[in-house]
Amino acid sequence: MAQVKLPDGSVLEITDGTTAKQLAEQIGPALAKAAVAAKLNGQLVDLSTPVTADADVQIITLEDDEGLEIMRHSCAHIMAEAICSIWPDAKLVYGPTVEDGFYYDIDLDESIRPTDFERIEEKMREIINADKPFIRKEMTRTEALEKLAGDKYKTDNIKHTDSDIISFYSHGDGFEDLCRGPHLPSTGRVGSFKVMSVAGAYWHGDPTQKMLQRVYGTAWPTKKELDDYLRILEEAKKRDHRVLGKQLDLFSFNEAGPGFAFIHAKGMIVWNEIIDFLRNIHARYGYQEILTPVILNEELWHKSGHWDNYKENMYFTDVDGVGYAIKPMNCPGGCLVYKTRQHSYREFPMRVMEFGLVHRHEVSGVMHGLFRVRQFTQDDAHIYCTPDQIESEIIGVIEIVFEIYKAFGFEDFHIELSTKPQKHIGSDEIWDISTDALKNALAHEAIGYQVNEGDGAFYGPKIDFHVKDCLKRSWQLGTIQLDFSMPQRFGLVYTDKDNTEKTPVMIHRAVLGSFERFIGILIEHYGGNFPLWLSPQHARVLPISEKTNDYARTVHDKLKAARLRCDLDISDEKINAKIAKAHSEKLPYMLVVGPKEAQAHIVNVRMRGQEHNKAVEIDEFISIAKQKIVDKQMDLALPE
Ligand SMILES: [Zn+2]
Ligand SMILES: [Zn+2]
């Protein structure tokens, strides 16, 4: 007999050799039906695995992320079989899951084209409908290497594992693949799937190796979930910030600097509006602002620990024959400012912010528009305080974070707390105090959060903030990181009440993270339709014909004098063409003026995305627009 502990804490007695599937049946028929795999003492296994000793067991279904991943991975095997049956020369390389799907790298001389996807899918459907069981077979490493002799890819895969027992999985008709598993009980358990795309990929990402074909697919428990996913992809494509960035003339990239963004004049307006907003709100929350150099002596980076832990992401240069590094983070520079004078507990908490320009090396394959760049500006800040101030400081940071996110129209948040990892510095006492402070601050704000046990940095616990955009995609933006290491490395001190010198607590925090990336997220979240306060341009005056050009100029001058960002279209185009052009530039307001408007001193306002106009007096329009900017309103609609 063995004792099995279930996730709800209950304990079941089972006879030795009971499989995970039989265990699920014992628990209940609904669970047995939904089960796709199991977790045995934290390790994912096939449902056919026997439970031979006392263990913690969790039955995994498609409701679990792990279950979904197992289904997607199983689907990769099915796609591999389909491809091999269509192209018998295809050699399989490696087929892992990725976010929302999976891929399989294939070595095949003939190109797989999008027009082939349908017949691959058809073959896959056949395999799924046949509902063949996935069967695991184990052998020793030596046996496996013998079995795979001549298959350089699979032999290489074995060499990359450290296990002595190597497993193969087959499903029905002789198709077998080297794999660690686990898999679905049978092919019929795959829900709705689709072959998505094919791209070239070098073996091990090494350009000296043969170019393989990477075929991507996705799989979901139901047809509805697949359809929703495809719809969101379609919508995301329309909102792609790289496309909109070009269309709206916001930024560009050039091969003169891969991964280094060029921000154009219109992009800089968005950028500067964000900066102004952040400066004001930080002043209100009691922050001071500093600016530290981009290039600093190599010695500093040895001292900070970046040399030992972050060197491969840094750029280096030399000045007068001495080694220098380009800063990947702003903290060491901040510490040097702290050290320029003495500090007393009376100054604490001391909140110091910096719009810091940092450079981090990314390999060329992973860059993606503004989302992943090699140079970016952080809305960084460091708070120096005493241990008993941690909690109230964290509360303050949480409040500023939410106030800022809401100003941009983000309402859906998710928070993760990462706690003490095995390898760490600092006493257990300081870890306990600060982890409790983080938890208490979250409780104080009545915010639910997820705990990632043991996932903190070695130098302190942290909180990460995630927001969901309008397509329900999650983005990690802000972070609060406690640091027990750097104040010591830099010998930072303050004089405490009892006149002794102590080491301050240092809190690193960023709200938006990287400006570049955040602007990319905003472009996609808004679909290029910026709210008025962020919009590169607020309005355009469109005279119906040459006859009203003078009146249009008067209107334009008035808007300019009121500091609204506007221009004037006195081109020879017909009014409909002028309107179409303004629409494509996603201008919030078009002010159409003809002889009637000139006589009545009014403007005909057409809002972005609307087909009809509304007549308003010029001064009234100006005051409405200015109020919307001040209030950071998302909605453009004029009052009825
Ligand atoms: Zn597998
Ligand atoms: Zn920092």
Closest CA to 450 of 476, 415, 412, 402: 415
Burial class (CB in 10 A: 0-12, 13-18, 19+), 175: middle
Q: pLDDT: is 444 or 509 the higher one?
A: 509
What's the gap in Å between 459 CA and the centre of ligand 1?
37
What's the gap in Å between 166 CA and the centre of ligand 1?
12
Asked if residue 53 has pLDDT above 90, the reply is no
What's the gap in Å between 355 CA and the centre of ligand 2?
12
| 3-state SS record for 357-412 | EEECCCCHHHCECCCECCEEEEEEEEEEECHHHHHHHHHHHHHHHHHHHHHCCCCC
The whole-number average pLDDT for the span 207-228 is: 94
Answer whether 377's CB lies under 8 Å from 327's CB.
no
What's the gap in Å between 272 CA and the centre of ligand 2?
23
Of all residues in the chain, the percent with pLDDT exceeding 70 is: 100
Tell me what pLDDT residue 267 has: 98
What's the gap in Å between 52 CA and the centre of ligand 1?
24
Asked if residue 205 has pLDDT above 90, the reply is no
Tell me what pLDDT residue 447 has: 86
Report the alpha-carbon distance of residue 627 to residue 145 in Å, rounded: 73
Q: Is 424 helix (H, G, I), strand (E, B) or coil?
A: coil
Tell me the pLDDT tens digit for each residue of 438-472: 999 999 888 889 999 999 988 899 999 999 998 88
Tell me what pLDDT residue 357 has: 98
Report the alpha-carbon distance of residue 240 to residue 488 in Å, rounded: 44
Q: Is 583 helix (H, G, I), strand (E, B) or coil?
A: helix
The whole-number average pLDDT for the span 272-292 is: 98
Neighbours of ion ligand 1 (CB under 5 A): 179
Report the alpha-carbon distance of residue 387 to residue 201 in Å, rounded: 50
State the ligand closest to the CA atom of 183: 1
What's the gap in Å between 146 CA and the centre of ligand 1?
20
Catalytic residue among 378, 389, 481, 537: 378
State the ligand closest to the CA atom of 306: 2
Tell me what pLDDT residue 485 has: 86
Tell me what pLDDT residue 172 has: 74
- Between 54-68, 186-200, 424-438, 490-504, the lowest mean confidence (pLDDT) is in 424-438
What's the gap in Å between 480 CA and the centre of ligand 2?
10
State the ligand closest to the CA atom of 462: 2
Tell me what pLDDT residue 170 has: 92
593 pairs with which residues across the strands?
A: 543
Report the alpha-carbon distance of residue 448 to residue 415 in Å, rounded: 7
Catalytic residue among 380, 469, 483, 569: 380
What's the gap in Å between 433 CA and the centre of ligand 2?
20
State the ligand closest to the CA atom of 157: 1
Tell me what pLDDT residue 594 has: 95
The whole-number average pLDDT for the span 232-259 is: 94
- Between 39-48, 95-104, 150-159, 557-566, the lowest mean confidence (pLDDT) is in 150-159
Tell me what pLDDT residue 610 has: 86
What's the gap in Å between 509 CA and the centre of ligand 2?
7
Tell me what pLDDT residue 425 has: 83
Asked if residue 640 has pLDDT above 90, the reply is no
Tell me what pLDDT residue 366 has: 74
Report the alpha-carbon distance of residue 263 to residue 252 in Å, rounded: 7
380 is catalytic: yes
Residue 544, CA distances (Å) to 5, 51, 486, 586 in order: 77, 80, 64, 20
Strand 413-418 with 450-452, pairing: parallel
Average pLDDT score, the chain: 94
State the ligand closest to the CA atom of 354: 2
Tell me what pLDDT residue 2 has: 84
Tell me the pLDDT tens digit for each residue of 324-379: 999 999 999 999 999 999 999 999 999 999 999 999 998 877 778 999 999 999 99
462 is catalytic: yes
Catalytic residue among 132, 183, 241, 360: 360
Q: pLDDT: is 309 or 369 the higher one?
A: 369
Tell me the pLDDT tens digit for each residue of 367-422: 789 999 999 999 999 999 999 999 999 999 999 999 999 999 999 989 999 999 99
432 is catalytic: no
Tell me what pLDDT residue 617 has: 95
What's the gap in Å between 447 CA and the centre of ligand 2?
25
pTM over 0.85: no
Asked if residue 163 has pLDDT above 90, the reply is no
What's the gap in Å between 132 CA and the centre of ligand 1?
15
Burial class (CB in 10 A: 0-12, 13-18, 19+), 345: middle
Residue 283, CA distances (Å) to 106, 360, 377, 400, 558 in order: 56, 29, 19, 11, 32
83: its two tokens: 């491809």
DSSP annotation of 274: H
What's the gap in Å between 284 CA and the centre of ligand 2?
21
- Phi and psi (nearest 5°) for 45? -140, 165
382 is catalytic: yes
Catalytic residue among 194, 382, 439, 540: 382
Per-residue confidence band for 595, with pLDDT thresholds at 50, 70 and 90: very high
Q: pLDDT: is 447 or 509 the higher one?
A: 509
306 is catalytic: no
Asked if residue 497 has pLDDT above 90, the reply is yes
Asked if residue 164 has pLDDT above 90, the reply is no
State the ligand closest to the CA atom of 457: 2
State the ligand closest to the CA atom of 104: 1
Alpha helices for 166-296 (secondary structure H): 223-238, 241-247, 265-284
335 is catalytic: no
Sign of CA dihedral 565, 570, 571, 574: positive
The DSSP annotation for 458-525 comes to TTB-EEEEEEE-TT--EEEEEEEEEESSHHHHTT--EE-TTS-EEPPEEEEEEEEEEHHHHHHHHHHH
